[in-house]
Amino acid sequence: MALILRNISKIYGPVHALDDVSLTVEPGECRALYGGNGSGKSTTARIVSGSVAASSGSVEIDGHPLDIPSPRRARTMGIGVTFQELSLLPDLTAAENVVIGDAPRHLGFFVDRRRLREDAYQYLNEIGLAHFCDVKASALQTGEKYLTELAKALYLKPRYIIIDELTTTLHASEVEVFARLIERHLAGGGGALFVSHRLNELRRFCSTITVLHNGRHVADERLEVVSDADLVGWAGGREQTPASAVTVAAPANRATAIQIERLSLGRKAVPLALALPAGEIVGLGGVPDQGQKTLLRILAGLAPAGRDAVISIMGKPLSFNSAAGAAAAGIVFVAGDRDQMAFATRSIRENMLAPFIARGAPLPDDVSLRSALSLLSTRYAGLDMPMNSLSGGNQQKVLIARCLLADPAILIAEDPTKGIDVGARADVHRLFRDLSAKGTTVLVTSSDDLELADLCDRVLVMEGGAIAANLARSAGSLSVQAIVAAYMKQEKAA
């Protein structure tokens, strides 16, 4: 009795996404699936879920072959799955999304709406979202959407659950909810295949690990007997230098890049006042949805500032209310949610040139495009490949490379390394520091406090649209512990 993959290969045109991969997940076991971007992790998950057919090899679930690959067939055989890309239907309620795969019916035909709500309530209550039963998915915050995806997967009572990068979007308190549900699933004899780039989470939730590199199986180990350095080396094919080991001196006599006064972002009575110098990397931390993303989107021209706010960019009053206007002012925006940023069916070249076309700027040539992509070790077959032919992490690398080409005065980065492996994350941090050294102001959010502590010169912990703590590296006050302590005090006081 186990979930067994035997000699799985998957070929997309010239790309071998998987090459002869085998692994086993036993009942009660949580196995980590680890590797760099483009290593085949998500492809493996999709093959197990039935949404992608393997080119060769077999999937066996408790002794029965997944002979006709389809999501419905996999579900009926006991497979549950959560993917990086949300599958919730925005116009349905949270309850309707949870039961959509197997809604209770009258006489086998008509949806029993009373039972639907009762059944969904049980699962939403377990993740602390019972009060959102009748709320449309489009109104949920990002973490709430991903927890609803987990409730949707668990509703079908799967024997084995595939978790693809779910926790990268969750705050610490939401990760605790996830931990409780997974521990109960394993204690009940279920199994799990857990895909994540976060080694601390892999060690917390998993007992065993399978490592992939460029679509090939390179290691199967018990996590207790291997070091992080071993895992990173196997996954990336090279040793990594921790991002925090790199230090860049702050430029002297810096001009003010962003000046904000009387900006109201939340329920706090005190409006936000903030000055950010050129060449500084500033992180916005704290509990999610405390004004961090709203502030980024106002500066990126994606949300209105309010009539009382006074905002200056590079000494000039903010006079734009669109992304194109922000781009013309030297502001570039990148988000971890690739659906917002990428043209999935368009080529890599078209995606990288889109911002230049939008503002009528000269277009970089193919040599420049390839050079930017190489800085992030992007894995692709050619600039004419459609974006949706790349792994999620490689798509994100394309979007970040696009930002570098623009040589921005201000870079607005919303969880930019979401879904990116540890090696690429170090590359992104290095590139952000290079931009900072040249005078670019970087304003960044992240779902990972460690990333903020490693990357930033300063972290502003936000609560209710106000600055609750200002933690500066130069003052010796910036650390993961300090960030967590700042927002944990807020949560306890709430």
pLDDT in tens, 355-405: 888 777 889 999 999 999 988 888 898 999 999 888 877 888 898 898 888
Q: Please tell me whether residues 430 and 285 are part of one structural domain.
A: yes
Q: How far apart are CA 220 and CA 26, in angstroms?
A: 14
- The number of distinct structural domains making up the chain is 2
Q: Please tell me whether residues 195 and 311 are part of one structural domain.
A: no
Q: Please tell me whether residues 375 and 273 are part of one structural domain.
A: yes
Residue 444 resides in a domain? yes
Residue 239 pLDDT grade (very low, low, confident, very high; cuts 50, 70, 90):
very low
pLDDT value of residue 103: 63
pLDDT value at 29 more than 80: yes
Residue 418 pLDDT grade (very low, low, confident, very high; cuts 50, 70, 90):
confident
Contacts of 475 (CB under 8 A, 6+ apart): none
Q: Please tell me whether residues 186 and 276 are part of one structural domain.
A: no
pLDDT value of residue 411: 93
Task: Report which of 406, 394, 475, 383 is spatially closest to residue 36, judged by C-alpha positions.
Answer: 394
Q: Please tell me whether residues 202 and 279 are part of one structural domain.
A: no
Q: Please tell me whether residues 226 and 320 are part of one structural domain.
A: no
Residue 67 resides in a domain? yes
Residue 430 resides in a domain? yes
Q: Please tell me whether residues 202 and 277 are part of one structural domain.
A: no
Longest dimension (CA), the chain: 75
Q: How far apart are CA 311 and CA 134, in angstroms?
A: 38
Q: Which residues pair with 79 in a beta bridge?
A: 160
pLDDT value of residue 266: 61
Residue 241 resides in a domain? no
Residue of higher predicted confidence among 343 and 31: 31
Task: Report which of 230, 198, 174, 172 is spatially closest to residue 32, judged by C-alpha positions.
Answer: 198
Residue 445 CA, chain-centre distance (Å), reads 12
pLDDT value of residue 227: 87
Residue 9 resides in a domain? yes
pLDDT value of residue 369: 94
Q: How far apart are CA 216 and CA 417, in angstroms?
A: 24
Residue 323 CA, chain-centre distance (Å), reads 22
Cβ atoms of 123 and 98 closer than 8 Å: yes
pLDDT value of residue 267: 52
Task: Report which of 343, 355, 353, 345 is spatially closest to residue 373, judged by C-alpha positions.
Answer: 353
Residue 35 resides in a domain? yes
Residue 243 resides in a domain? no
Mean pLDDT of the 47-55 span: 92
Q: Please tell me whether residues 179 and 229 are part of one structural domain.
A: yes
Boundary of a domain, candidates 191, 209, 236? 236
pTM of structure? 0.59
Boundary of a domain, candidates 236, 264, 299? 236
Q: How far apart are CA 195 and CA 30, in angstroms?
A: 10
Mean pLDDT of the 91-116 span: 75
pLDDT value of residue 489: 57
pLDDT value of residue 241: 38
Residue 494 pLDDT grade (very low, low, confident, very high; cuts 50, 70, 90):
very low
Residue of higher predicted confidence among 481 and 24: 24
Residue 16 pLDDT grade (very low, low, confident, very high; cuts 50, 70, 90):
confident
Q: Which uninterrupted H or E stretch holds 261?
A: strand 256-263
How many CB atoms are closer than 10 A to CB 493? 7
Cβ atoms of 424 and 417 closer than 8 Å: yes
Distances (CA, A) of 369 to 372, 374, 378, 388, 481: 5, 9, 11, 18, 39
Residue 490 pLDDT grade (very low, low, confident, very high; cuts 50, 70, 90):
very low
Residue 450 pLDDT grade (very low, low, confident, very high; cuts 50, 70, 90):
confident
Q: Please tell me whether residues 286 and 221 are part of one structural domain.
A: no
Q: How far apart are CA 312 and CA 301, in angstroms?
A: 13
194: containing domain: 3-236
Q: How far apart are CA 276 and CA 312, in angstroms?
A: 11
Number of residues that make up the chain: 494
Q: Which residues pair with 285 in a beta bridge?
A: 461
Boundary of a domain, candidates 176, 211, 236? 236
Q: Please tell me whether residues 220 and 299 are part of one structural domain.
A: no
Q: Please tell me whether residues 75 and 199 are part of one structural domain.
A: yes
Query: pLDDT digits over 151-185, tens only?
Result: 888 888 899 999 988 887 787 788 888 898 999 99
CATH code where residue 141 lies: 3.40.50.300
Residue 244 resides in a domain? no
Q: How far apart are CA 49 and CA 66, in angstroms?
A: 10
Q: Please tell me whether residues 140 and 184 are part of one structural domain.
A: yes
Q: Order of strands, edge to edge, in the sheet holding 410-414?
A: 331-335, 410-414, 441-445, 281-285, 458-463, 466-472
